[in-house]
Amino acid sequence: MRTPSSLLRAFRPQVQENLYDFYEEMRSADDLFWDRSLGAWIATGHAVVSSAAGDPGLSSVRYPDVEAPGAVPEELRPLARVLSRQMLYSDAPDHARLRALISKAFTPRAVATLRTRIVEAVDRIVTRAAPTGRMDVVADLARPLPLTIICDLLDVPERDRPAVAAWSEPVAEAIGNSRLDAEGSRAASQSMTDMLAYLRELLTRHDTPPAPHTLRAMVTAQAGNTDQDLDELLANCALLLIAGHETTTHFIGNATLALLRHPQAADQLRRRPDLMPAAVEELLRYDAPVQLMLRRARRDLDLAGRTIAEGQTVLLVCGAANRDPAAFPDPHVLDFGRPGGRHMSFGHGPHFCLGAALARMEGAIVLEALLARLPGLRLDGTEPPRWQRSLNFRGLTRLDVAFTPPTA
């Protein structure tokens, strides 16, 4: 058996463009291997990734002891303290308690109430772009739309939303980068500090009552009276602001690019809009916005016949699992009629993405509008699609498209 390449190669721009060929190369060598460069186990097969994602012997805690000397670089410690209070990086019983703080905002009924707002926001963006015949899907649509919806959900005023977006970017970069330099760590920590200060003021202010049915109204009503309760609440609202729009932004961009590169699939959706729910799931599988999940061994344990030592990190490569032919025959084919199989793009088990229903709905509304209202939609050859540099997040920084503007 040949030695697989380090996952760190995925940082290279030429690998990003052909990421799933790289994953296939790794998986065919070994679907679970020790990556010396990262100091972690890398899981790429669907069976091992799905099994490990729900294994109670593996912890989701990213920083087991933030304050231990040398455990976290000093400049990253403020960010690490906040991440340690977020449900994404917690285990039972804390995970269930933290998730309950905000889960009411993401019930199917609550998400359904957002449909009108999403449709109206997409309509405004597409109507503005239609006469021009061109659009950068990322800058003009995929980035502003999810930010608008998650800020609506938190009752963030319009004037404050550019600041929220600016704070989110360095934090998302830190989460997705395994080797952040000191400057990047400081920027991420400062952005998180600024975001928490803003959220503290927003959620505790009394001069302006929260809008009904917003997350601000819900969390304000159920917030505890201790500083710890409020700190946990703020940390998880920050998680929603960052994960709630960054990942959906990437999904919209990735899905649009996939359809443009598969015009027959796009034509099929135009003719059969009833296929949209299945198309959303297949597009999520095909090019997931989140590529990795991190786990850490609570004790020595066996995983797929390997002994994982207590404290060792296991990186679950969801993007590779989604292209595993053992789970998805012809995995590189975009097939809206694909039977069975559960993709890992929203995770698995207790940590299944809380905002999955909202992301699905936003993606479906956007794709339907693009296909129905922008005739001749195609890649604009002036600027090639560009991928951001990240191990964890898979997303475009730019996606220029052209289409036929309406006649006068």
Domains annotated for the chain, with CATH where assigned, are 7-402 (1.10.630.10)
Distances (CA, A) of 269 to 241, 262, 285, 368, 386: 31, 11, 17, 8, 25
Pick from 387, 371, 381, 373: which is nearest to 402 by CA?
381
pLDDT > 90 fraction of the chain, expressed in percent and rounded:
61
Pick from 197, 194, 222, 196: which is nearest to 102 by CA?
222
Q: What is the average pLDDT value for the chain, to the nearest integer?
A: 90
Residue 397 has phi, psi (to 5 degrees) of -90, -15
* Amino acid of residue 50: S
pLDDT score of 370 = 98
323-328: Cβ within 8 A, 24+ apart? 323/20, 323/23, 323/24, 324/27, 324/31, 324/44, 324/45, 324/46, 324/47, 326/45, 326/46, 326/47, 327/46, 327/47, 328/46, 328/285
pLDDT above 80 (res 225): no
State CA 298 to chain mean position distance.
Answer: 26
- Per-residue pLDDT tens digits for 337-355: 998 778 999 998 888 899 9
Contact 140, 361 (CB under 8 A): no
pLDDT score of 178 = 59
Prediction pTM value: 0.94
Pick from 32, 38, 73: which is nearest to 178 by CA?
38
pLDDT score of 384 = 81
Residue 64 has phi, psi (to 5 degrees) of -60, -35
Distances (CA, A) of 104 to 107, 150, 231: 6, 14, 19
Query: In the 8-state DSSP scheme, what is residue 351?
Result: G
